[in-house]
Amino acid sequence: MTVSYRLARLNDAKEIAHLELTHMNDELAPGAQAMSGQHFTEQQLSVLINQGWIMLAIVDHAIIGYVIAGPWSIFKSWPIYQHILKRLPSIEIGFSTLSEKNSCQYGPIWIDSRHRGQGIFEVLVSKLKRDVGQKYTYMVTFIAEDNALSLAAHTRKASMEVVDYFGFQQRDYYLLLLAN
């Protein structure tokens, strides 16, 4: 099996939207509260393809993984991102603080369960980091407290650092950061 990686194109938006809706709760532990309202429409994905980054992992012309990142302007209509944006200035990194100008939103990331454990996660994050790093110093993401698999992958395999912990709509989240 040969995995190839590339940035998404507009004609990928429909397939990514379907994968996003179908698999948005794959990483949650059994019995964990399902995510709601956090999937992207085809139209939103088209905007992300044009203004942000969606890195794909492909096998035999099929998308088997993706990771999404983009400027805060794309995400700020959703209440959880508004909440995160208010928190950013209170997070100090070295001699600076996080802001809308020096960071972007990272995530979600998804890899087909049949292809996990093969290093695809690390490659997707690495390739995305390279592209995002040309514009932003930091990538910021949030992970639900009950999503232990995702937290472990991001802190161990992607070397992301937990920089905050917050509650939002009766659920707790870790805020993570990756410096580019």
pLDDT at 180: 87
For residues 133 and 90, what is the distance between their CA atoms, to the nearest angstrom? 22
Amino acid at 113: S
pTM (2 d.p.) = 0.87
For the ranges 14-18, 113-117, 146-150, 162-166, the one whose mean pLDDT is highest: 162-166
For residues 43 and 45, give the distance between their C-alpha atoms in angstroms, rounded to a whole number. 5
Q: Edge-to-edge strands of the sheet including 4-7?
A: 4-7, 53-59, 62-70, 103-111, 138-144, 171-179, 161-168
Q: Please give the tally of structural domains in the chain.
A: 1
Q: How confident is the model at residue 166 (pLDDT cuts 50, 70, 90)?
A: very high
pLDDT tens-digit readout, 63-106:
999 999 999 999 988 999 999 999 999 999 988 899 999 999 99
> For 102, left (φ over 0), alpha (ψ -120 to 50), or beta?
alpha
Residue 98's domain comprises: 4-179
Residue 88: both structure tokens together: 């950013």
CATH number of the CATH domain containing 154? 3.40.630.30
DSSP classification of residue 157: I
- pLDDT, tens digit, 9 for 90 and up, residues 28-73: 444 545 444 466 888 989 999 999 899 999 999 999 999 999 999 9
d(CA 118, CA 180): 24
104, 71 Cβ separation under 8 angstroms: yes
Is the pLDDT assigned to residue 27 strictly greater than 90? no
For residue 170, the Cα-to-chain-centroid distance in whole angstroms is 21
Cα dihedral 120→123→129→130 (10° resolution): -150
CA separation for the pair 106, 37 (Å, rounded): 17
Residue 61: left if φ>0, alpha if ψ -120 to 50, beta else—which one?
left
CB within 8 Å of 25: residues ≥ 6 apart:
34, 35
Is the Cβ–Cβ distance between 58 and 3 less than 8 Å?
A: yes
